[in-house]
Structure 1
Amino acid sequence: MNNNKGLTLIEIIIALALLSIIVVGLLTAMSSHFSMMVNTKDITEDVFLAQKDIEMQIEDVKDSIKDRDTPLGQRTYTLFSGSNQRTVKGYPRESVIDGSSGEGSNNKRKIYTIVAETRMPEFKVAKASDVSIELYNNDKKVLYGYTGNPSLNIKSSSRISDSENIHLMNIHNWYVSRVGFNIPMEENTSEEEIGKKYPVFPDDYRLISSELGPNLYNIEPEYGGKHIIYTITPASKSGKMGTTVYSNPVFIPGLPVIKNLKLHLDASMIIKDDPSLVRTTETNAYVKKWQDISGKSNDAIEENEDKQPLLLQQISIFEDKQGKRHDSYTRFLRFNGNQSLKVPHNQSINLENLTVFAVTRGTEATANKSIISKYGDDYDSVWRLGWNEADKLGFYIKDNWGRNKFVSVESKKGLDGEWHILRGSTVLEFQIDENDVKRVSRDNYGTIKNFGNITIGWDDKNGYSKVDIAEIIMYSDITDDDIEKVQEYLTKKYRLEGSSVEPIKVNVRGVSLNKTETVLPINSTETLLATIKPANGSNKNVIWESSNPSVVSVNNGIITGKSYGTATITVTTEDGSYQDSCEVNVVEPVKVVGYEARNIRWEGSFWNKYLVADIDVKLSDNTTYTHPNVVEVLKQKRERYWDWGWKYRYYIIIPEGITGTATSKDDQEVPYKMPSKVYEH
């Protein structure tokens, strides 16, 4: 028989109890596992954050080492032992893991590292300074030179500082400028002129790759009319290169023919900052001496200021081989009617076969006026380039028998206000620009007298000629091929289309006041003097300012004390904004409160004695100032009085009107005028 009886109540209760125990155990285990997972996630995040922090600290240390700074916390560590022992420097860094167990910082978990000292040693290198270059004719220093001179070279000089004996060698490089810069670099040059009037390094230069020495001996024809610069770079024994230093540029005139050259006057070569050559006013520059750069010393001179021509510059457009357009500056002299320059007579100029080139521009001339001429002692011309009685431009000669000949072009030529290249010759040739050459025969003609000065512009006989002249070149003999070379040189140099004229100015490079500080009594005045540098700076205008006008006012350098206090007076140049200043302290005026005679004594010889005294000037600030000169007593008297017998008192009288200037404690200058006063002696 089957047993169909189910679970008893007791069995059910026991089963439920067992199930509850199992469930509770499982839930506890699962809860612990979940909690552990959450804690692990937090710990992992904290470690990653600490690791990020330590990595940032490592990078900071490396950056400091790279910048050659010493990071904080440097320590020395000893590695190994015995013969292998060595010490290294390092920088300990640590980062605490947030949430780590323990109550004190010592119990917290950390990431710890040491950053080694890994910087490369600092390789030192010698320094170059005082780098300059100069032109030489063989071993003789010269101011000017031409590419056609095989003896022309450029020598460099520099100073190498090498106190630690680390210098190995120098790297030398030479550079030549592009064409279009016709004016030599001058010492007193403004920043705005660099790149326009003068080439800027290195943008306007190219490397001369074949030249690697300290001197430039191979002066190529293409360097004519260009600037040359030299650079030097020191190299150390470690292989490290030093700082490259570049020289001043030198300019080589571009005239291609120097054989039989007797005179070369180029207005672009006039050094405007040289007061021996140029006289400047606030607005203009006038030429006293036009230097001959041929080396023959045939300078054109004029001491009379009223006759000195005006120096100007013009800008024309130059297009290079790449089609890029540039401004090109040249200079010229303007002869306005009574200006002139004279070249003293020199036997070296052979007038029997003379050729004159002149770059000129004329606008007005009356009959028989000269541009360039040479006259004898009797004021008969030997030769003359200019206009004749019929306003024909040409070349005129006169021989030793008084006979004259003239070769010319048609009337009014050269008076159109345009630039022209003129060529005249004593073989009676004349040419204007590239037009046909005009010739007249010199058959059966005598010799030309070689005496008298060469006059440029106005001359005493024929009066004035209003003309601009940029360049004059003279040869004693020249071939037809060389004539073409000279004309090509002048044509390329004076790219005269679209030119505009500008005045020449000498740039201001500084200003200084006669005082840096002064004490000014209230309601008094003083004059500050401003000195422009250089002295021949064209624009001498300055601006005066006071930092506190209620204390000190200023008007054209005259300062006035308005109230007690201090103020700074500043002077600023209109050209270049250069400044200097003076500190002014306005104080109570010190006054004279009395005079005192002391050290009254006899001086002079036995037969000619006289009384003198030292005089002290008493000031209101309790200062005593001693009059610098001994005062002679002009009058004296004796007074008898009774004091148990007759006695005498002697008196001296200081004369009235003795003047001087006392100095107070605060350096005030206090003028005084002594009154007459009687002193007992």
Structure 2
Amino acid sequence: MKAFLRRTTTLLCAAAVMASSAALSVFATESTNDTAASDYTLTIPASFDIKNSGWNEIGEIKAGGTLEEGKKLVVTATSENDWALKSGENEVSYEMMNYEDDSAPATSWEFTILPASQSIGINVEDYKGMPAGNYSDTVTFNASIKDNGIPAETVTINNAPTEALFVNSTGTLTATVSPDNATDKTVVWSSSDPDYVSINAETGEYTVMGKKGYGSATITATATNGTEDTSDDVTATCTITGKVTYTSLSAGTVLHVGDTFYAGKVYFDTKPAVSFNDSNGVITLVEDNGCYKFKRGSNGTMPNVTAYKIKDNTDGVYIVSGSGTSTSDKLTLAVHTK
């Protein structure tokens, strides 16, 4: 069976199967465009027999003709019954594969140099005991000429931080994809732990988070080569680590706006009384409605403490006394002047 291709040609493979002691026979029919005539040809076997469960070699997909520079011939196969031979409600599943020992089905092929060929076969599930009948499926082979892209070979992250960054720090990572003439140089960003470092998948903008404390996350830059097939992905990684201003608090400590702490269970002598623990994440001193307040990293909420007013000559709060380790020894605060 032979079809002449210009852009897209459909080949229909109709399977008539007797799931009994008789041989399973599959016949192929062809549907082509009357105007399909060009330098490209595609040939698949006219017919083949399924002789047994398991591996059955069909033959070869053969592509002939001449490809223009920068072009490739792409052939895809689809099954009307989702890769099953059906008779009424009964079905026999099968997979199309290139070789008997392949670990995955093959339903698409690319030819960048012509002439070329690719062997194919099907792996049929054990149909012993299935009711007799005509089991059929239709497999459609579509062929089209597409641009043959130049794949990305390497990705390099240009500006990975070389030291730990304070929680709430932000930045934008950039990456270089090589070679320079790669067809698709799009980079997708991801984080191994967004609770420590979140990153925008498209822009590379990141924020050092304090949702569950502070720590490290692996950032991955992936060049996908414009496909959903991960086998041709190219990646590069870096590590971004968070840190806090204070890991403990004591009398004399000054907290300026933007300073952070992660100090375990801490009690403050405020009105209303406030305490924080590790489950609140990293705590940040912020300005809110004319007051200095503490903001939880876990959920962004702030205790409604309004006693510490912002003035032109103030820049935060400081700890006057106390250890903060218990309700009987709370940390006492006051507004810090410049």
Give TM-score, length-normalised by structure 2: 0.32
Report which structure shows greater RCO (CA 8 Å, sep ≥6): 2
Structure that is richer in strand per residue: 2
**TM-score, scaled to structure 1:** 0.19
Instruction: Answer 1 or 2: which has greater helix percent.
Output: 1
